[in-house]
């Protein structure tokens, strides 16, 4: 019995030195399989945890949450290029093409080149609008009249599009999923600084 205890103590002292050291949580990289949280850890295993006692700024070690949002930029200067698909929408690209094709920017005295507005919305499985679209951004300093004009144009575009003709697969994939639509009135932007990235 004493000899067994002796060997257990020796193994307990030698094994940790022989095994490769686990990385400290501060050095963990995203999705590193060696960084496994334990109930015995003295520090929380949370990539964005901050403390008032830290000497340095709190910078998340992970690149943020994995968002479920869809992002789309619609440029007024390209409305002549946008075309609605002639079939049921089956991909995200089809969805984006359909949403772009419905946009008609304000004209004449109501137009205000340089205006940007972003709304957040989602669709039901059958292509109907889910809830009310809400404005999340508009160009700073624009008048209430300009804001109302562009808001009305966006609501008209969404009404023009809905209900979307979705396939069963795409309907299930986007149902309730937030979509951020960024409308940019870049007409007259000769340098083409605003690019349609999404």
Q: What is the pLDDT of residues 105-116, one digit of tens each?
A: 998 777 888 899
Residues 74 and 96: beta-carbon distance below 8 Å = no
Q: What parts of the chain have a pLDDT lower than 50?
A: 22-23, 25-26, 30-31, 47-48, 57, 59-66, 190-198
The secondary structure element, H or E, covering residue 189 is none
pLDDT of 58 reads: 53
pLDDT tens, 51-92?
666 555 454 444 444 456 788 999 998 988 999 999 999 999
Q: Assess contact for 140 and 146: CB atoms under 8 A.
A: no
Q: Is 79 helix (H, G, I), strand (E, B) or coil?
A: coil
Strand segments (E) across 20-165? 70-75, 116-123, 129-138
Domains of the chain: 18-65 (no CATH), 70-184 (3.30.1150)
Residue 119's pLDDT is 93
pLDDT confidence of residue 68:
61
Element at 184 (helix H, strand E): strand 179-184
**Structure pTM?**
0.61
């Amino acid at each position: 019995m004493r000899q067994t205890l002796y060997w257990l103590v020796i193994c307990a002292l030698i094994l940790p030195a022989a095994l490769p050291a686990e990385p400290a949580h501060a050095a963990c990289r995203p999705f590193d399989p060696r960084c496994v949280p334990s109930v015995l850890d003295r520090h929380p295993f949370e990539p964005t945890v901050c403390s008032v006692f830290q000497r340095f700024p709190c910078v998340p070690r992970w690149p943020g949450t994995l968002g479920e949002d869809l992002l789309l930029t619609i440029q007024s200067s390209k409305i002549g290029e946008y075309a609605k698909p002639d079939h049921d929408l089956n991909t995200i690209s089809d969805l984006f093409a359909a949403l772009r094709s419905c946009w008609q920017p304000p004209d004449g005295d109501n137009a205000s080149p340089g205006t940007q507005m972003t709304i957040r919305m989602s669709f039901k499985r059958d292509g109907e609008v889910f809830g009310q679209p809400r404005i999340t951004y508009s160009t700073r300093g624009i008048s209430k009249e300009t804001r109302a004009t562009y808001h009305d144009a966006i609501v008209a575009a969404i009404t023009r599009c809905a209900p979307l003709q979705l396939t069963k697969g795409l309907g299930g994939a986007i149902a309730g999923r937030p979509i951020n639509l960024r409308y940019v009135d870049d007409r007259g932007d000769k340098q083409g600084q605003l690019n349609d990235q999404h």
